[in-house]
Structure 1
Amino acid sequence: MSHDPHFEREQQKYDNPIPSREFILEWLNGQSGPCNRDQIGQALGLSGEDQWEGLRRRLRAMERDGQLVFTRNKCYALPERMDMILGRVMGHKDGFGFLRPDHGDQDLFIPYRCMSKYFDGDRVMAQPLGVDKRGRREVRLVRLLEPRKAPIVGRFHKDGSIAFVTPQDKRIPQDILIDKGMANGAREGDICVVDVLERATHFMAAKGQVREILGEENAPGMEIEIALRNYDLPHQWNQRIDRQLRKLSDEVVDDDKTNRVDLRHLPLVTIDGSDARDFDDAVYAERKRSGWRLWVAIADVSHYVKKGSALDEEAIARGNSVYFPSQVIPMLPEKLSNGLCSLKPKVDRLAMVCEMTISDSGSLSGYKFYPAVIHSHARLIYEQVADALEQGTKDPNLERLLPHLEVLQELYLTLNKAREERGAIAFETEETQFIFNDQRKIESIVPRSRNQAHKIIEECMILANVAAARFIKKHKAETLYRVHQSPSETKLTSYREFVRERGLTLGGGDEPQPMDYSNLLGQIGDRDDAELIQIMLLRSMSQAQYSPDEDGHFGLALNAYAHFTSPIRRYPDLQLHRSIRYLLNREAAAKAGKPITENWTRDGGYFYQIEELDELGVQCSTTERRADDATREVSDWLKCEYMQAHLGDEFDAVIASVTSFGFFARLKGLFIDGLVHVSSLANDYYHFDSGRQMLQGESSARSYRIGDAVRVKIAAVNLDDKQIDMVLVDNVKSRAKSGRTAKASSGRSKAKGSIRSQLARGEIGGKSKSSRSTSSKAKGGRGKSGGSKSRTSRGGKSKRQR
């Protein structure tokens, strides 16, 4: 006990302290093998019944948290010395799963027999089993360490006396039994939220209680309600936040305008989408003798959201705003996001300003940051600005601002040339927008084009982000950088093969640089497959993330890049604002001979330590991926709902991806993907060539490759699986002549242990109702519809996620 470095901490917590967890782990690590409780207690010098009972509880707690493994010989062992792996379960709709290790190694396969007691999202301890017949590294799940945080959302069913909920999330293929009195008024077909009361065993299904009834599946907005819960997205404000908001005025008070640079005379303007509600950036530029001066004013969120406050804790939990096609789940309450922090026109607002000087060649030659008070002179939209720059305007309000907009345009053209010279990859893929009717159902899907106004704002924001990263480096401080690494070797090899099949070459050898990708895009011009080549290039890229390590941004060809321009909707930007504010205060205090001794300042500044940023980077990267997954799921659901009205219709399409079980065709103009299953291809056996990404006929010369144009017919739409089945029109005609028809499979594939399948087999309850039976899917698995993520109603703002 006397050697325990944490003994004083334990004394403060307990009247009769026992060895700390750290000391127990250190001692066990020095032993040659696992030890039982008696051996541990004797070696650590315990005495008295209270200490022995305390040790028992501590060992059980360490076992529960995955720090120790309780072996069959009733001994305690260190998981790392038993080759145990800690990680998260990722379920699969076909009943098996994968383990994503905590330490970031390759995902491991979890066989069906091990998944019956676990849910997608569970944190577990697993034991490696070797390699299965397909060459996948396999594990056995040993213990649940932390249940999934997200509740289970599903459809309520009743068959005789048996009630159960079938999860909407296809990564959870097991049903939840609802005992009598636990239905909370749910009726057949209701979508409800379930709390799991008892985990499943090898012989019994999981049991749960209905916590909340969301309503009918086809109710307007139900797809968002489901996604919010499936992905555990915070979407309600608690009482602590309400109390904090009540202390804020509706408009900026005079006291808050003091000690700031007054820029209200500058004709700063916001340029956003027509449906944007939160305006977090305003811009203005002047032409100088040898370049430009550019002001980028960003909403000063750090003034209102202080580190450690209730608002701050909620903002960290959310990480970012989530932009669904018809609804926004904001990171900050509306009083801030659409009110005090929104740079609305004709009102005073607080801002953090980045004032930059740019040379005639487009180089950032100088910058400075400072808190300011601004007064936006106009709220402009992208199309309005683009039309005025191209054709002029007769609008007197816009005409007054047009000379300033022309300066911004001139600056953009120079910045864009500099961007090309450094080799930044310019993606110009076509995107779509959902148009909703009054019932919140999709009325149409239309293309969303990016005009020059979008690009003007994008270049101004990129330049401010670069200046912010340089400012942090100059002051030898830490921040979260936006890191985008070069493609992995596997993805690089695959993409090289893809472009080679199209007669193109990606230069750069084993380590191509951004310029090599940019040169490739310059070769595709007006080719019919130009859009697909860019999409495949995007797929080959690594996913950007937040990290305190300054590893550069590959896509933008920048050595250091940080997010500064959207603190209303991204937490990393808010973190960066606090860091800049602290450094400004520290610099001013040093000049005044009054150095700052705290790591925070009263005006919202904060000096982050590297350990804090490590954890924050993981959190922000995770919430960003969570938002992407949730919005993709909603978009897929809406696309399927839209296509229900087009069953039997024919469309021109292009093959977007090829698999061993068929290919996905993307409908032209709609960007909706559907599966053409290999079993529906006529008159031949087809084999998958992974290297060339194609299906090749065995006896015919027919092949299907990415980029091929096809004509398809909508055969089936399955909302549950968010899946669209298609058949080739030529195949339908040829099979009709021979007396056969092509049939696309649909319906959800149920795990053998599901309650519904047990009812069908008569293993539990009464006779199953035939109207509820489902057909299993064709062997080989199914993919999701809608491989291209639809734009939200943000009016182009999502481009700034770069």
Structure 2
Amino acid sequence: MNTSSSGSRPFPTKDEVLAFLQESTGVVGRREIARAFHITGPARAQLRALLKELESEGHLKKGRGKRVTLPGRLPEVGILVISGRGPEGELLCRSARDSTADDPDDETPAVRIELREDRKSSRAEGGPWRVGDRFLARLQAVDDTHYFARPIRRLAQGPVRILGVLSPVSDGLRLVPTARKDLAVYRVDDSRDLEPGTFVEAELLPGRNAGAHTVRILRTLGRETEARFISRVAIETYDIPHVFPAPALEQARAAGAVDLAGREDLRAIPLVTIDGADARDFDDAVFAEPDPSPSNRGGWIVLIAIADVAHYVPPGSPLDREAFERGNSVYFPDCVVPMLPEELSNGWCSLVPGEDRGCLAVRITLDAQGEIRSHRFVRGLMRSAARLTYEQVQKARDGQPDPEVVPFLDTVIAPLYGAWEALDHARRKRGCLELELPEVRVHMNDQGQPTAILPVHRLNSHRLIEDFMIAANVSAAETLERRHEPCLFRVHDQPSPEKARGLADFLREQGLPFTKGTIKQASQFNGLLDLVRNTPREHMVNAMVLRSQAQAEYSPDNIGHFGLSLRRYAHFTSPIRRYADLTVHRALIRVLGLGRDGGEPGASLPLDEIGQHITSTERRAAQAERESVLRATALFLATQCGSFFAARVNGVSRGGLFVTLEETGADGFVPFTGLPPDYYILDESGHRLIGERSNLVFSLGDPITVRLQDVSTASGRLTFEWIEGGTVRKDGGKIRRSARALKDTRPRRGRR
């Protein structure tokens, strides 16, 4: 038995340490753990190793300094900010350190903090609580993702910034916030010279009278009817850099063509780009041919060429500093905020057909089963033979080629599909996570107004390019790791034990078999996904599996990529739009001696700091893009209030139902006032709402019919009313037992 340095006490097991953390309030550190288990001297190193092992297994996470906590736990006492109101008017909070808290009406595994005040706290120090107030609070956990905050005292605060659109009322104008989490409407201090529909930035004025939410307009940002209103809201909300500084623009405008010196001439190879029909930049080109080697019968030679962005963006240059700050391009329905100026992203770094372009290319040899036998990176000069679209290529493969594609059928298209079929075989064999998630695309007119919202159909041509890019990314990671060159890996951890248990409990409620133990391979999900494919529960199960996953990130510490079932993976194929790929290009140039513009290792920020920054900019972009699609959808549906829609329940909460419309993929909310009158109980483990008297049950994935009641084009919020759907349960006794078990978390009664 392991003992501490005193020799008289056994060294704690993992379970004992986790039990100690479970019983502890707030966040503790190694010192507290060592004191609790009487660990001294050399045994402290053993404790550090044990904690690191628990962290790698997902059982705990690091806090600030040397402090640790169970995943997802918030401290017992913390500083909070009131961020908005929920569907039933409840005040919702976020940590004062979290500036990008999720929407309260976004059914994700994000933490929900609800203010619970008493008369004493609401009267103390200035009257009623309101959006923007900072305060010290005691946090009470309801479950892993839900807390009650009980105020201790108010704290001084700076001006509260609010973005919104001016709306007319009988006595002037009101400010309707663009933030989905803020359901308040603010009075405008001075609305002279302002018109309804103006998008503004405002400051919340002091004042503690009940219901007194008054703002002063700081600046106008445009009109709700203007083109690019959707992207402007997101840019202002998330402070996304969108104006290039003069030095960066001057550097981009001074760029020119590359020559052949120091490069391999690839211009005779019929490389082609395959992108969406509306793509403007083309940063990857592909080619394949059968491997002529007798030792690799049935194998393939694949060439993947990527725009040589590193040639134009030297480390430490104005362009480099701005690209790092942005982290990535951001794609909105009405425009793109690029990582690099248009002179590069749509010019010298775009692989335009018939024009010479510098590239960094990898030549990969595949065997007949799609496994990578070897790879070699070169710096080249290429000339794209054609700019093709996914639809063109797929139609050609299906026997309906258009005239532009006919010359490439035998020499390019057929070999590409042959190599891809081998890669697809290898992908299926290693057991990647095969989620089927619906995706929609917003179509806009020249005036920036949405004209259609249509589902995106994944074609084999999409999968072809995706698998070619994965092979290139794997080759880049293998090359750098083999040569011990520091690298930003794209890592994706396995699901935490807590999320795995939550998923297993939910699936058991649905009568679906699933392991409750540690999930070590993505393939463990695929049998479940196959079981529900093309059934009414397909969307529900795919959504729940997605929610159980960890978020991918960039890190110099390689833990592999769980979702792709890969031991090493690094983003290499999109340096026009991702800074991570640019760092990988530079590392390859440096370690392979392909030029002098790879920079020096460690010359800029440490890789872990770069990884943290671009992970945060990626998540910022994803949230901004998602909200922009929701806002565009609201604009599209604004004239359809009163219409009926087929929908599915995609989440339940104490405020009502979250729904997704079948036709457009639009997300909306059905508050309790829009449900049949009853007393509704939230069954959190079963992800369902239960009507206590009617036995009407709404579960995740249930098809229902809803009527659109209200549209907020400012925030993109859609409010619906239930028309029909749900399940009438006959086992009323079981429901009543659930009601008693959940009596402390009952939501308010829904009323017509």
- TM class by smaller structure: 0.7 to 0.9
1:472 aligns with 2:468: no
| C-alpha separation in 1, matches of 2:612 and 2:150 | 26
Partners of 2:492 and 2:560 within 8 A in 1: yes
| C-alpha separation in 2, matches of 1:147 and 1:86 | 21
Q: How does 1:415-426 map to 2 (within 5 A)?
A: 415-426=423-434
Partners of 2:139 and 2:147 within 8 A in 1: no
Residue equivalent to 2:276? 273
Q: Deviations over 1:527-567 (max 9, x none)?
A: 23323322222222121111111111111011111110000
| C-alpha separation in 2, matches of 1:161 and 1:396 | 62
Residue equivalent to 2:659? 665
1:679 aligns with 2:682: no
Equivalent position to 2:612, from 618, 621, 642: 618
Structure 2 residue matching 1:242: 3-state secondary structure: helix
Change in 2 beyond 3 A, CA 1:406/1:159: closer
Partners of 2:200 and 2:222 within 8 A in 1: yes
| C-alpha separation in 2, matches of 1:163 and 1:450 | 46
Partners of 1:282 and 1:298 within 8 A in 2: yes
| C-alpha separation in 2, matches of 1:177 and 1:727 | 28
1:221 aligns with 2:231: no
Instruction: Compute the RMSD of aligned alpha carbons.
Output: 3.8
Change in 2 beyond 3 A, CA 1:519/1:199: same
Partners of 2:504 and 2:516 within 8 A in 1: no
Partners of 1:163 and 1:179 within 8 A in 2: no
Equivalent position to 1:546, from 539, 549, 554: 554
Residue equivalent to 1:506? 514
The residue type equivalent to 1:216 in the other structure is R
1:236 aligns with 2:243: yes
Change in 2 beyond 3 A, CA 1:726/1:174: closer
Equivalent position to 1:258, from 241, 261, 267: 261
Partners of 2:77 and 2:139 within 8 A in 1: no
Change in 2 beyond 3 A, CA 1:284/1:696: same
1:168 aligns with 2:178: yes
Q: Deviations over 1:92-145 (max 9, x none)?
A: 33544221658999969585879999987x9x9x86645489854667688779
Partners of 2:80 and 2:93 within 8 A in 1: no
1:731, distance to aligned residue in structure 2 (A): 9.1
Structure 2 residue matching 1:92: 3-state secondary structure: strand
1:653 aligns with 2:647: yes
1:170, distance to aligned residue in structure 2 (A): 5.0
Residue equivalent to 2:29? none
| C-alpha separation in 1, matches of 2:216 and 2:693 | 56
Structure 2 residue matching 1:729: 3-state secondary structure: strand
| C-alpha separation in 2, matches of 1:485 and 1:478 | 20
Residue equivalent to 1:389? 397
Residue equivalent to 2:84? 92
The residue type equivalent to 2:664 in the other structure is L
| C-alpha separation in 2, matches of 1:545 and 1:268 | 31
Residue equivalent to 2:629? 635
Partners of 1:128 and 1:138 within 8 A in 2: yes
1:536 aligns with 2:539: no
The residue type equivalent to 2:573 in the other structure is T
Change in 2 beyond 3 A, CA 1:419/1:346: same
1:500, distance to aligned residue in structure 2 (A): 3.0
Structure 2 residue matching 1:368: 3-state secondary structure: strand
Over alpha carbons, which structure has the higher Rg?
Answer: 1
Partners of 1:482 and 1:546 within 8 A in 2: yes
Equivalent position to 2:503, from 495, 499, 513: 495
| C-alpha separation in 1, matches of 2:498 and 2:684 | 12
1:176, distance to aligned residue in structure 2 (A): 8.5
The residue type equivalent to 2:351 in the other structure is L
Structure 2 residue matching 1:614: 3-state secondary structure: helix
Structure 2 residue matching 1:391: 3-state secondary structure: coil
1:607 aligns with 2:601: yes
| C-alpha separation in 2, matches of 1:571 and 1:690 | 40
Partners of 1:660 and 1:780 within 8 A in 2: no
| C-alpha separation in 1, matches of 2:536 and 2:266 | 49
| C-alpha separation in 1, matches of 2:337 and 2:662 | 30
The residue type equivalent to 1:546 in the other structure is Y
Structure 1 residue matching 2:592: 3-state secondary structure: helix
Change in 2 beyond 3 A, CA 1:472/1:117: farther
1:716 aligns with 2:726: no
Partners of 1:479 and 1:608 within 8 A in 2: no
1:297, distance to aligned residue in structure 2 (A): 0.5
Residue equivalent to 2:569? 561
Residue equivalent to 1:444? 452
1:209, distance to aligned residue in structure 2 (A): 7.0
Partners of 1:245 and 1:335 within 8 A in 2: yes
Q: Deviations over 1:57-90 (max 9, x none)?
A: xxxxxxxxx99xxxxxxxxxxxxxxx99998957
Partners of 1:468 and 1:564 within 8 A in 2: yes
**What percentage of residue pairs aligned between the two structures are identical?**
33
1:253, distance to aligned residue in structure 2 (A): 4.3
530-539 vs 567-576, which moves further: 530-539
Residue equivalent to 2:743? none
Q: How does 1:281-292 map to 2 (within 5 A)?
A: 281-288=284-291, 289=293, 290=296, 291-292=299-300
1:464, distance to aligned residue in structure 2 (A): 0.6
The residue type equivalent to 1:656 in the other structure is N
Partners of 2:241 and 2:326 within 8 A in 1: yes
| C-alpha separation in 1, matches of 2:196 and 2:724 | 42
The residue type equivalent to 2:508 in the other structure is R
709-718 vs 233-242, which moves further: 709-718
Structure 1 residue matching 2:346: 3-state secondary structure: helix
- How many correspondences in the alignment? 629
1:309, distance to aligned residue in structure 2 (A): 1.1
Residue equivalent to 1:741? none
Partners of 1:359 and 1:365 within 8 A in 2: yes
Residue equivalent to 2:721? 727
Partners of 1:95 and 1:173 within 8 A in 2: no
Q: How does 1:520-531 map to 2 (within 5 A)?
A: 520-531=528-539
198-207 vs 319-328, which moves further: 198-207
526-535 vs 462-471, which moves further: 526-535
Change in 2 beyond 3 A, CA 1:661/1:177: closer
| C-alpha separation in 1, matches of 2:326 and 2:80 | 20
Change in 2 beyond 3 A, CA 1:353/1:536: same
Q: Deviations over 1:268-298 (max 9, x none)?
A: 1100000001101001112114111111111
Residue equivalent to 2:491? 483
Change in 2 beyond 3 A, CA 1:531/1:132: closer
Q: Deviations over 1:382-427 (max 9, x none)?
A: 0111111121536265333433221121111121111111111122
1:572 aligns with 2:566: no
Partners of 1:302 and 1:605 within 8 A in 2: no
1:668, distance to aligned residue in structure 2 (A): 1.4
Gaps of 5+ in 1: 1-65, 68-82, 589-600, 733-777, 782-802
Q: Deviations over 1:203-239 (max 9, x none)?
A: 8999987554233323332122121111101111221
Q: How does 1:100-111 map to 2 (within 5 A)?
A: 109=113, 111=115
Change in 2 beyond 3 A, CA 1:669/1:608: farther
Q: Deviations over 1:307-366 (max 9, x none)?
A: 111111111111111111121111110000000000111000011111111122221111
1:462, distance to aligned residue in structure 2 (A): 0.4
1:490, distance to aligned residue in structure 2 (A): 3.2
Q: How does 1:682-693 map to 2 (within 5 A)?
A: 682=676, 684-693=678-687
Change in 2 beyond 3 A, CA 1:247/1:451: same
Q: How does 1:446-461 map to 2 (within 5 A)?
A: 446-461=454-469
The residue type equivalent to 2:414 in the other structure is E
Equivalent position to 2:412, from 371, 386, 404: 404
